[in-house]
Amino acid sequence: MVASNFQKKAFFWGKLIFLSALVMLLVHNSAVAKEMIIKIGVVGPLTGQFAAVGQSQLNGAEMKANEINAAPGEYTIELISEDDASKCDQSVNATVKLITRERVVSIIGACNSPCALAMVPITQRYQVPQFTFGVGTAITKQGSDWIFRVAVGAPGQTQALADYAVNTLGHDKIAVLYSDDEYGASMAENFKAALEEMDLQPAAYESYPRSDKDFSGQLTSVKKSEATCLYATGSYAASALIAKQAKQLGLSLQLIGDTGNATPKYIELGGEAVEGAVIVEPFTPADPDPAIQVFVEKYKSQYQQDPDGWVAEMYDTVGMIHEAVVKTGKIDPKSIQNYLAGLTFESAYSGILGDWYFGPEGNANFDLYKVQIKDGKKVILER
Amino acid sequence: MDFVTIPQLAFSGLTIGCVYSLVGLGFALTLRATELINFAQGEMVMLGAFIGLTLISFFHLPYIMVFILSIILTGIFGMFMERFILRRILDNKSPLLNLLIATLGISISLQALAIILWGREPVPYPDIFSVEPVMFFGIRLQHLNLWILCLGLASMAALQFFFQKTMTGISWRAASLDPSTAALYGVNRQRNVSLTFALSGALGGGAGVLIAPLYFASFGMGHSVLVKSFAAAAMGGFGVVGTMIGGLALGAIETLAAGLISSEYKNVIMYVILLAVLMVFFRPKTPTGRSITEGSKVAAGRAVNLFSADMPFWIRPSALLLGAAVWLIIPAVFDVYTMRILNLALIFAVAALGLQLIVGYTGQFSFGHAAFFGIGAYTSALLAIQLNLPFLLTLPLAGAAAGLVGWLAGPLLRLSGHFLAIGSLAMGEIIFLLMLNWKWLTKGAYGLYGIPFPSIFGFEISSDYAYYFLVTMVLGLICFLVHRLTDSRFGRGLIAVRENELAAMVNGINLISQKTKAFVIGTACAGIAGALYAHYVTYINPDSFQFHVSVEMVTMVVIGGLGSVPGSLIGALVIILLPEYLRGLADYRLVVYGGLLIGFMMYLPGGLADLARYPLRILRQRLQKNVREVTQ
Amino acid sequence: MTLLTLQQITKNFGGLTAVDHIDLSVEKGTIHGLIGPNGSGKTTVFNLITGIYPLTSGTITFNGMDITGYPAFKVNQKGLARTFQEIQLFYDMTVLENAMMGCQRLTRAGAVAALVKLPWVTREEAFIREKAMAALDFVGLSGTAEEAARKIPYGHQRLLEVARALAGDPELLLLDEPAAGMNHAETRELMALIARIREMGITVFLVEHNMKMVMEICEWITVINYGQVIGHGKPAQVQADENVINAYLSGENITC
């Protein structure tokens, strides 16, 4: 085919515009610095599969930062958010950028345990405290003093869940269905260990690939096992789908879930199928405590949805970092780390989730709520 | 096991299989009409789902109406996509791979746009049908699944009718079998291609409306059906009826395997069956077909050689000097963050060079390169952690391990064209799944942490600057070796295989052996890159070695320039640096990134190496003139 | 002396017998023509000889060696080179590189040799270049050695295919319709070229449609129809053969 003159011209101009756009992109750049500002880097997925979790992380941190900045005080908080698309390479790159370029004094992230784990050697090398709600056990077992887990880890969560399911709800045939990524595997193995301590074995123990949407195969095995209770762990969307499909297959199971399902989205997606599900969560909007209700209302007015555990954890994390700076009077990573590592039961930071202090490995520990979903709302069973 | 289980599983399997068939048909059609693997097909599913959702929740239309409207709208969208983006690239006579990267760009941009429009979280469809199932001999048939099956099968029947009984359909088939003859009989190719993209868009959109009520609408939903639908189309030999059966079979196999055999290995089982089907039924008898790099200017042996005999004697030493100066200045100028990105880019460049050998020089598709990268990473990491072997030993061993697996995968190279594309993809996924499930060796999804920094003669290479020197030296060595390989009798043999398999074989080239050698060397490069990667990031898990990374590597090779050694380096730099560089754009980052990929393919079809050709040629002419003057 | 012998070779494609028990022998040093109406199976015979298709039955002997079932590359290594009816070049390589590809059977440097690049490898590379240039010279293409094969005119592309086949010093050269698409003058030049090739001691076996050319240059002619040999002999004998005339009368004119 012979290209017409017009086509040739169009191609030429198109190429010119494309190339100049490329050059303009290469030229742009910016960096500004201020004083008395606490710079905190937030690393998490804002695109890709886990984008919603990254959004919760950012919202929680942002809400607290805005509150601090609006209130009278010496210090202001500047959050610098970086998207890692839940790719660990990008999490680490972003961390290095935030520390060496932006000179942040603390790092929040990443949302996925593997990526948070990949960041640990970096934050240790550059001696900047890192805060993550990733639950993977290994994160705090790297011998770094700079990592703080601001959530209950996999062992704590599954222990509480297994205990409640067996001793309070009275199930002894519990099936486990987990996503084959680090989160699911880590939860499932710890849950299994918790059952074994009570001399029980899971009735069925099945995994599913993360991208899968049809679970009828796995649910068939669950059905065969005659389990009365199902622990599904992985993304909240997958857990909601599992609940739906189990119901469609005519299985009537007591559903139980970990903090991965502790988001209002789980109820929205699961609908009727998740009625009666029991979930452990660090935070619940159902708590009548007035401080919590104020927090919930405020979040709702800003973000048009209920806050979840991740929001609350990050809200408190920013609060903690701010307090460390106020108490020590220094904006530097070392004093923040020192102050937070030195917190004890007595000197704990009091946040929306309760009293914060860290164990020797950097794990926070607090009581989890056990809630049940009734009529699309969460009802507290116990804390 | 009760007798209800198997039909019950088959029912669920067929439902999802129906969706694979629809999406797979879209693949098959575009492939038959344009030889293109359309990566944006998955996004048609996503668009269909969201358009449907909007129609249901805002206009409260009945499901059938929503289905039909979404099909029409995504069909129009597919047509626009062809008209304004792909046609330009088709008209440029660019290599097929360029088209493929352009559709990848469209896919990335559309996903990012969907996040901006509809948010990051999955959105459920309202309950349209009764949740109470229809009981049929004890099998629970859900209304929604029945609807999916009926509408899906009806669309396929309509499609089949269209191709068999209507004039347009018949001429479409004629054109896909023999475009030039069909053109003689007055079949308008342009119209045919437009029609194809409209149809495949419509099929994707229809599939989207069908599965969204089951699995929610989300921006990434297309991705999860993409690979399996493509597999379905390949199993059906990219025919219309074949793809329908392939999809249904795949869905059924997958679900039955999970229910009856093992949920951990269900995807392994599926991919193994796929490979078996490909190897048995779709091995070409005689080599034919268009070279996948055809049309690439750099590949055309027209790279500018500055070191030929007619150039002045000082050109080589001064080029070396300049190179050395740049090499030493870089670490002095850049900060830690830049060095880090640069190091990663250079590590990927090593892998891309290997891929260049396979794709750019030998002309073979490979969508499993990341798996070999992973094998190298795991080999080196495990040897270092478990056996405390020194880096200087684990690095070549990593290359050898990857090369060995590449050699074992050699028989795959008997496949050609798109069958090889899906075959290599399946092989990559199998290796990924083994990394995930051989927990005793790889620790599965937890990954390996605490991988030691390389230590060479007692020197621990832990800083980003020291690593820069290590990586550049390895890269330099590999560049040198790849250059030697390609600039030889062996290298000519590779290019000959790429250019024309028939001519190559009657000129004494053993096709399988030649392709296997290229594949082994290429995968060994990936293995070495993997080792460099593992000891740099010190933590690896299977996620880093998945399909999308393989696609990224192919993008590097194409953007840099097919058949060009420096092109691979530039490509790796661009693909790793660009997303980092675009960070400032926040939500629009990936929209722009995808757009740039499209732009590259539209306006720089020969890759970035092609851009350097013109100034280099001028330089060469200038220097040659000087020589002449001197000699005169 | 017989260079190439086909004994009872047969090829079935599905239910169709394209080549049906053909016996044929090509004498060393001759120009041998294979003719027949369209679809009679000529090109299939070539494809069977060169190992592009596997035989259904029969044996092929080349130079006293049984090469039945050899894959194409091995057939070439034994000294049998060919061209195609539809030109098969390495289009994005240069003319010279195309010709260099013809030398595969005379050389041996592989991947390892390329990496180590010992002196003999460099010498071999120079030898390849020399052979290729000589072949290009022989067909008259040395002036366009650095052009991309895609860029040269159609007639030259045909010659390039011949040059590539010659570069490997074959004993037998198979030409599949070498004059297809050529005008009268070009055909004359081609005939002269084929004569020169024979003078070099290379046996030529060709399939051709142009009867005038075949009758003029071939010493021996074999005629096939529907996959079977229907005539064999000197040009004059074949022209007079009743079977042959009948076969062609139903199709085309033998004296065109």
> Model confidence over B363-393: pLDDT tens digits?
898 999 999 999 999 999 999 999 999 999 9
Neighboring chain A residues of B5 at a CB cutoff of 8 Å: 220, 224
B490, B502, B509 ranked by CB distance to C111: nearest: B490
Give the separation between CA A362 and CA A113, rounded to whole angstroms: 15
Neighboring chain A residues of B8 at a CB cutoff of 8 Å: 216, 220, 249
- Cβ-proximal residues to A183 (8 Å cutoff; 6+ apart), any chain: A112, A113, A135, A136, A233, A234, A260
B487, B488, B499 ranked by CB distance to C92: nearest: B499
- Cβ-proximal residues to A210 (8 Å cutoff; 6+ apart), any chain: A49, A179, A180, A181, A184, A234, A235, A238
Neighboring chain B residues of C104 at a CB cutoff of 8 Å: 489, 493, 507-509
Long-range contacts from B409-414, C-beta under 8 angstroms, 24+ separation: B409/B368, B409/B519, B409/B523, B410/B512, B410/B515, B410/B516, B410/B519, B410/B520, B411/B279, B412/B275, B412/B279, B413/B364, B413/B512, B413/B515, B413/B516, B413/B519, B414/B279, B414/B283, B414/B512
Neighboring chain C residues of B504 at a CB cutoff of 8 Å: 90, 101
ipTM of the complex: 0.93
Asked whether the beta carbons of residue B223 and residue A211 sit closer than 8 angstroms, the reply is yes
Asked whether the beta carbons of residue C73 and residue B300 sit closer than 8 angstroms, the reply is no
B186 sits in the region (left: phi over 0; alpha: psi -120 to 50; else beta) called: left
Contact A134, A112 (CB under 8 A): yes
Contact C35, C221 (CB under 8 A): yes
Please give the domain boundaries of chain A with CATH numbers for all domains. 37-152+293-356 (3.40.50.2300), 154-281 (3.40.50.2300)
pLDDT for the residue numbered C222: 94
Mutate to test the interface with B, among A12, A53, A84, A93 (most CBs of B within 10 A): A93
Q: Measured between CB atoms, does C102 come within 8 Å of chain B? A: yes
Residue B334, both tokens: 């850049």
Asked whether the beta carbons of residue A46 and residue B344 sit closer than 8 angstroms, the reply is no
Give the separation between CA C108 and CA C167, rounded to whole angstroms: 15
Contact B88, B602 (CB under 8 A): yes
Asked whether the beta carbons of residue B488 and residue C114 sit closer than 8 angstroms, the reply is yes
**A94/chain B closest Cα distance in angstroms:** 8
**B283/chain C closest Cα distance in angstroms:** 14
Could you read off the pLDDT tens digit of each residue along chain A, which spans 383 residues?
445 677 777 777 887 887 887 777 666 544 444 458 999 999 999 877 788 889 999 999 999 999 999 988 889 999 999 988 888 888 999 999 999 999 999 999 889 888 999 999 999 999 999 999 988 888 888 889 999 999 988 999 999 999 999 999 999 999 999 998 888 988 999 999 999 999 999 999 998 988 788 888 889 889 889 999 999 998 888 999 999 999 888 888 999 999 888 888 889 889 889 999 999 988 888 888 999 999 999 999 999 888 988 999 999 999 999 999 999 988 999 999 999 999 988 889 999 888 899 988 899 888 889 999 999 888 999 87
pLDDT at C23 over 50: yes
pLDDT for the residue numbered C92: 84
Domain ranges of chain B: 5-281, 337-622
The single-letter code of the amino acid at B149 is L
Mean residue pLDDT across chain B:
87
Q: Measured between CB atoms, does C94 come within 8 Å of chain B? A: yes
Q: Measured between CB atoms, does A291 come within 8 Å of chain B? A: no
> Where residue B548 falls among pLDDT bands split at 50, 70, 90?
confident
Longest dimension (CA), chain A: 82
Residue B555, both tokens: 């993008």
Give the separation between CA C42 and CA B151, rounded to whole angstroms: 52
Q: How far are the Cα atoms of C145, C154, C156, C189, C254 from residue C182, in angstroms, in the given order?
A: 22, 9, 10, 10, 19
Sheet holding A130-132, edge to edge: A76-83, A37-44, A106-108, A130-132, A147-149
Neighboring chain A residues of B267 at a CB cutoff of 8 Å: 209
Q: How far are the Cα atoms of A53, A353, A381, B359 from residue A262, in angstroms, in the given order?
A: 11, 14, 14, 47
pLDDT for the residue numbered A235: 86
Q: Count CA atoms closer than 13 A to B313's CA, side-chain side.
A: 2
Query: Is B5-281's fold the same as B337-622's?
Result: yes
Choose among A278, A314, A380: nearest CA to A151.
A314
Contact A158, A258 (CB under 8 A): yes
Mean residue pLDDT across chain C:
90
Give the 3-state DSSP-derived string for chain A, with helices as H, strands as E and coil as C. Answer: CCCCHHHHHHHHHHHHHHHHHHHHHHHCCCCCCCCCEEEEEEEECCCCCCHHHHHHHHHHHHHHHHHHHHCCCCCEEEEEEEECCCCHHHHHHHHHHHHHCCCCCEEECCCCHHHHHHHHHHHHHHCCCEEECCCCHHHHHCCCCCEEECCCCHHHHHHHHHHHHHHHCCCCCEEEEEECCHHHHHHHHHHHHHHHHCCCCCCEEEEECCCCCCCHHHHHHHHHCCCCEEEEECCHHHHHHHHHHHHHCCCCCEEEECHHHCCHHHHHHHHHHHCCCEEEECCCCCCCCHHHHHHHHHHHHHHCCCCCHHHHHHHHHHHHHHHHHHHHCCCCHHHHHHHHHCCCCCCCEEECCEEECECCCCEECCCCEEEEEECCEEEEEEC
C72, C81, C105 ranked by CB distance to B505: nearest: C72
Mutate to test the interface with B, among C73, C160, C175 (most CBs of B within 10 A): C73
pLDDT at B433 over 50: yes
C72, C101, C110 ranked by CB distance to B490: nearest: C110
Fold of the CATH domain B337-622: ABC transporter involved in vitamin B12 uptake, BtuC (1.10.3470)
Asked whether the beta carbons of residue C77 and residue B517 sit closer than 8 angstroms, the reply is no
Asked whether the beta carbons of residue B584 and residue A28 sit closer than 8 angstroms, the reply is yes
Percent of chain B at pLDDT > 70 equals 94
Percent of chain C at pLDDT > 70 equals 97
Q: Residue C202: how many CB atoms within 10 A of its CB?
A: 21
Q: Do chains C and A touch (3 or more CB pairs under 8 A)?
A: no
pLDDT for the residue numbered B460: 87
- Cβ-proximal residues to B269 (8 Å cutoff; 6+ apart), any chain: B253, B257, B261, B262
Neighboring chain B residues of C107 at a CB cutoff of 8 Å: 489
- Which letter does DSSP use for residue B294 in this model? T
Q: Measured between CB atoms, does C97 come within 8 Å of chain B? A: yes
Neighboring chain B residues of A265 at a CB cutoff of 8 Å: 121-122
> Where residue B624 falls among pLDDT bands split at 50, 70, 90?
confident
Q: Which of A164-168, B154-158, B623-627, C211-215 has the lowest mean pLDDT?
A: B623-627
Contact C73, B509 (CB under 8 A): yes
> Where residue B206 falls among pLDDT bands split at 50, 70, 90?
very high
Asked whether the beta carbons of residue A220 and residue B9 sit closer than 8 angstroms, the reply is yes
Give the separation between CA A303 and CA A301, rounded to whole angstroms: 6
pLDDT for the residue numbered B299: 47
**B540/chain C closest Cα distance in angstroms:** 32
Mutate to test the interface with A, among B116, B537, B539 (most CBs of A within 10 A): B539
Residue-wise pLDDT for B235-257, tens only, equals 888 888 899 999 999 999 888 88
**A220/chain B closest Cα distance in angstroms:** 6
Contact B469, A205 (CB under 8 A): no
Q: Do chains B and C touch (3 or more CB pairs under 8 A)?
A: yes
B488, B507, B521 ranked by CB distance to C76: nearest: B507
Q: Measured between CB atoms, does A186 come within 8 Å of chain B? A: yes
Q: What part of C 121-160 touches B (C-beta under 8 Å)?
A: 121, 124-125, 128, 148, 150
- Which letter does DSSP use for residue B334 in this model? S
Q: Do chains B and A touch (3 or more CB pairs under 8 A)?
A: yes
Give the separation between CA B381 and CA B395, rounded to whole angstroms: 10
**C212/chain B closest Cα distance in angstroms:** 29
Asked whether the beta carbons of residue B8 and residue A216 sit closer than 8 angstroms, the reply is yes
pLDDT at B409 over 90: yes
- Which letter does DSSP use for residue B86 in this model? I
Q: Measured between CB atoms, does A96 come within 8 Å of chain B? A: yes
Give the pTM: 0.90
Beta-bridge partners for A380: A371
Write down the CATH number for the domain with range B5-281.
1.10.3470
Helix or strand run (H / E) with residue B134:
strand B134-136
Q: Measured between CB atoms, does B496 come within 8 Å of chain C? A: yes
Give the separation between CA B356 and CA B526, rounded to whole angstroms: 11
Q: How far are the Cα atoms of A354, B247, B253, C59 from residue B244, in angstroms, in the given order?
A: 57, 5, 14, 44
Q: Measured between CB atoms, does A103 come within 8 Å of chain B? A: no
C104, C124, C148 ranked by CB distance to B507: nearest: C104
Radius of gyration of chain A (CA): 23
pLDDT for the residue numbered B287: 52
B576-591: average pLDDT = 82
Asked whether the beta carbons of residue B122 and residue A92 sit closer than 8 angstroms, the reply is no
Residue B22, both tokens: 């629809």
Please give the domain boundaries of chain C with CATH numbers for all domains. 1-69+173-179+204-256 (3.40.50.300), 80-169 (3.40.50.300)
pLDDT for the residue numbered C220: 94
pLDDT for the residue numbered A205: 93
Beta-bridge partners for C94: C148
Chains that touch A (3 or more CB pairs under 8 A): B
Q: CA-nearest residue of chain B to A139?
A: B449
Give the separation between CA B45 and CA B222, rounded to whole angstroms: 6
